[in-house]
Amino acid sequence: VRRRGAVRGTRLAQPTNQVDRGGRLAERRTVDYWCADDHHTTATFAADVGPPAEWPCRTCGAPAAPDHGAAPRATRAAVFFRTPLDFLKMRRTTEDGERILNEALAGLASARAAQSTGRDRRR
Ligand SMILES: [Zn+2]
């Protein structure tokens, strides 16, 4: 039986061995940026696009500007350090803590009592 017009399984995007070596690159320009700490950063952009007024410093991550000394100081949001105890105090009051501690101690004491009586029975 001859099958006509059989659809072969082909990939939609065939990998190509073509390399654009020697091809003309798009026009580009390199812009210098300096952050407030005077770290120098260069960034390359397409020539037909205006360079951004701010670029992150490669050294410290602070905003950098194309002009010396024009970059604003990095303003980091104040971080409130909280310890696990602080988070616990947000959830529970001291009275809650006393009650939970007493419950746990009572549970532990009853478990120990049950264990010791069980041991006594085995003897
Ligand atoms: Zn910097």
Question: Are 53 and 65 spatial neighbours (Cβ–Cβ below 8 Å)?
Answer: yes
Residues lining ligand 1 (ion), CB within 5 A?
Answer: 35, 37, 39, 57, 59-60, 62
The candidate with the shortest Cα–Cα distance to 45, out of 55, 60, 34, 58, is: 55
106: tokens are: 């009572």
Distance 81 CA to ligand 1 centre (A): 25
pTM for this predicted structure: 0.44
Q: How far is the CA of 29 from the centre of ligand 1 (A)?
A: 21
Q: Give the pair of three-digit tokens for residue 59.
A: 């050294």
47 Cα to the center of ligand 1, angstroms? 25
- What is the whole-number distance in angstroms between the Cα of residue 117 and the centre of ligand 1? 70
Would you say 62 and 73 are in contact if contact means Cβ atoms under 8 Å apart? yes
Per-residue pLDDT of the chain (123 residues), as tens digits, is: 555 655 666 666 666 667 777 778 889 999 999 999 999 999 999 999 889 999 999 998 889 999 888 888 877 666 678 889 888 889 999 899 999 999 999 999 999 999 887 665 555
Q: How far is the CA of 100 from the centre of ligand 1 (A)?
A: 51
Token pair 């010791």 is found at 116
Q: So what's the pLDDT on residue 110?
A: 95
